[in-house]
Chains A and B, each alone.
Chain A
């Protein structure tokens, strides 16, 4: 989960790192307790906020009032601004960039810093040090105070952060180190051990979630048996609804489908043996859109412990419910390639389902072959539909 700047700064503050005095403003009626001059910062998840007009300055009340109105009505990089962080101006003597993140080539966290901060950091020379979690300060040579480094590294591990970026980190004329910005990404896998994480649900940076994406996210909330829907995304212009399972298989499957000219309408992945109700709900989400010309249920044919009978029963249930709900006949081709525990029972059950155009596949059909068949059937269906309409 990526945090808004003010949430990240709270973590810094709790770790003993100085941040400017600030206040969150959500309406023009909020009274301001920070003396002028102030800086107004739109709270959005995407970077390059300053370039997009998300940061304004106000030397008096008139400028502040105008600025707040502007920002609270603004959409920055597709994100609607709902909160503005208003902060005191800090007198800057020197700026730095510093970040901590995990790196796959060192298989450790790395500390990156640069002698100058601000926007355009990608193009400046920076230094990188791997951090050994067993001895974090060993071998580090940085311009920073040891106490600050210790606080930052401790905060990184204790908060289970995947990224902590301060750009800029500044030294004031009084010699104080202050984090003027905060980009913090937390590790979702660590959530069960952080009761204090009460952050509001949010989408990806620079992305305005669709109705389907919001619905899909709700499926996993409050029901932790397996996953179904957390990773759901609509794909614009697609006409093949996809229910895929397994991380690697899902990626391989969608690549193959596109390779054969198919147009997936969504990405999603369900795994870890989710109960019937969750699969039914996810089925509803993937089909609740116009112009579906095919439905592909794709997963490995050698699942280890997902109960195929249960998941495919949930799928058929969701299919029937959605058809009733939308009031349209589902006569598009449905290709199913699955295998694993109780697959014989599942396919026996599916062969008894007569109201849909089902195409059942097993281990004799590879993921790529299944993709090709799905793409061709969807194309034929779309052509036939076009002829009927003209």
Chain B
């Protein structure tokens, strides 16, 4: 929590069942979200640091209490729970980021939710015009660093997680960024498996995403390994022809997305795309 507040995030309440009435670094703790909202008034959202098997219950509680923004940091959340949470969020008009999100950070608005940036976010994310949307937490930081080392900076950085069901996918986030005055272009980091990268291609092709997008897609080497194996993230799995990085790259390129062959190519491609 100190890492989030010291960056500028306003944390008004904490919720831990059984710990109601206590205070952590000046922030009051409540037993339920409902109690917290009654005491502190309207809040913008919640960041959850609960163990994976308790996430579904916590999200249900947040949605029932009327919250519209939920960031889930836990990894290893069962897929069936993700499906239920996504359906609940759709029904109530709430947004979920994650599970397995490293966090969300805005250099201009000084918002930092979750673990993103580690002990020193300023070292990795310098203010700039590029949004980073990544399935991988560590690659969010690596790309931030790469931008900095190449004279560029970050507007927003978000880890959307690499699970099978993502509360917010690349397209959801890129569509929001279309209206963001601080963002000129975006970098997405994708992996083998699923169809979230392909969807970006569709939206760019249809002209719904107009700001330039540079994509780095990892996992080619996995074709040398047994099929139907999960690599790192839950969604990183190839079944038959589906989910091959090579296929994603081809489709993205055909749709007008600049595809980086290595992390070092991202900055040059961004500079060309923004000209």
A interface, CB within 8 angstroms of B? 2, 102, 104-105, 107-109, 132-134, 157, 160, 162, 187-190, 192-193, 203-207, 231, 233, 235-236, 246-252, 254-256, 258-259, 264, 267, 269, 299-305, 340-341, 363-364, 366-369
Q: Which of B13-21, B135-143, B177-185, B203-211 touches A?
A: B135-143
Does B220 sit at the interface, judged by CB under 8 A?
yes
For the complex formed, measure the closest distance between the CB of B240 and the CB atoms of chain A, giving whole angstroms.
8
Determine which of B118, B169, B199, B218 lies in contact with A251 in the assembled complex, contact meaning CB atoms within 8 Å: B218
Residues 35-59 of chain B: 1 if any A CB is under 8 Å from the residue's CB, otherwise 0? 0000000000000000011000000
Of residues A104, A254, A264, A299, which shows the largest number of chain B Cβ atoms within 10 Å of its Cβ?
A104
- Note all chain B residues with C-beta closer than 8 A to A192: 53
List the A side residues contacting B30 at CB < 8 Å.
Answer: none
Q: Which residues of the other chain, A, contact B189 by a CB distance below 8 angstroms? A: 248
CB distance from B19 to the nearest CB of A (A): 23
Q: Flag whether B108 is at the interface (Cβ < 8 A).
A: no
Do A233 and B139 touch across chains, with their CB atoms under 8 A apart? no
A247-B232, A255-B219, A258-B221 given; A303·B83 CB < 8 A: no
A102 touches which one: B117, B164, B233 (CB < 8 A)? B164
Q: Which residues of B contact A248 (CB under 8 A)?
A: 134-139, 162, 189, 191, 218, 232-233
B134, A102: Cβ atoms closer than 8 Å: no
Task: State the Cβ distance, A159 to closest chain B Cβ, in Å.
Answer: 9
**Chain B residues proximal to chain A, CB less than 8 Å:** 52-53, 76-80, 83-84, 86-88, 91, 102, 115, 117-119, 123-124, 134-139, 141-142, 144-146, 149, 162, 164-166, 169, 189, 191-192, 194-196, 199, 216, 218-222, 224-236, 245, 261-264
Known: A187-B78, A367-B142. A104 touches B231 (CB 8 A): no
Q: A248-B189, A300-B141 are in contact. Are A264 and B218 (CB under 8 A)?
A: no
Of B149, B194, B262, which contacts A256 at CB under 8 A?
A: B262
User: In the assembled complex, which residues on chain A have CB atoms less than 8 Å from the CB atom of B53?
Assistant: 192-193
Across-interface contacts of A303 in B (CB, < 8 A): 118, 138
Tell me how far the C-beta of B20 lies from the nearest C-beta in chain A, rounded to whole angstroms.
Answer: 27
Closest chain-B Cβ to A236's Cβ sits at a distance in Å of 8
Q: Apart from A190-B79, A249-B136, A252-B142, what 12 extra A-B contacts exist at CB < 8 Å? A: A102-B83, A107-B83, A189-B79, A193-B78, A204-B227, A231-B229, A248-B233, A250-B232, A251-B232, A252-B139, A255-B218, A341-B119
Contact (Cβ within 8 A) B226 A233: yes
Q: Nearest A residue to B99 by beta-carbon distance?
A: A189
Task: List the A residue with the shortest CB-CB distance to B120.
Answer: A302
- Residue of A at shortest CB range from B3? A304
* A2 near B228: Cβ-Cβ < 8 Å: yes
Q: Assess whether B102 is in contact with A304, with CB atoms less than 8 Å apart.
A: yes
**A247 adjacent to B162 (CB under 8 Å):** yes
Chain B residue nearest to A249 (CB atoms) is B138
Contacts of B84 in A (CB 8 A): 133-134
Instruction: Let me know if A300 and B231 touch, CB within 8 A.
Output: no
Asked if A108 and B263 sit within 8 Å, CB to CB, the answer is no
Residue contact B136 to A246, C-beta cutoff 8 Å: yes
Judge whether B262 and A259 touch: CB under 8 Å: yes
- Residues of A near B220 (CB, < 8 A) are 255, 258
A306 to B224, CA, bound (A): 29
Q: Which of B78, B144, B221 contacts A255 (CB 8 A)?
A: B221
CA gap between A250 and B264 in the complex, in Å: 16
Cα–Cα, bound, A162→B239 (Å):
13
Contact yes or no, A302 B263, CB < 8 A: no
List 11 A-B pairs, Cβ < 8 Å. Answer: A105-B195, A235-B224, A236-B224, A248-B189, A248-B191, A249-B136, A249-B139, A302-B124, A302-B141, A363-B149, A366-B263
List the A side residues contacting B91 at CB < 8 Å: 134
Most buried by B among A132, A236, A304: A304
In the complex, are the beta carbons of A189 and B119 less than 8 A apart? no
Q: Nearest chain A CB to B78's CB is how many angstroms away?
A: 4
The interface residues of chain A lying within 8 Å CB-to-CB of B144 are 302
Give Cα distance in the complex from A296 to B137, angstroms.
Answer: 21
Let me know if B78 and A189 touch, CB within 8 A: yes
B88 A134 Cβ-Cβ under 8 A: yes
What's the Cα separation between A363 and B166 when bound, in Å? 30
A187 and B79 in contact, given A134-B87, A303-B118, A363-B145 (Cβ under 8 angstroms): yes
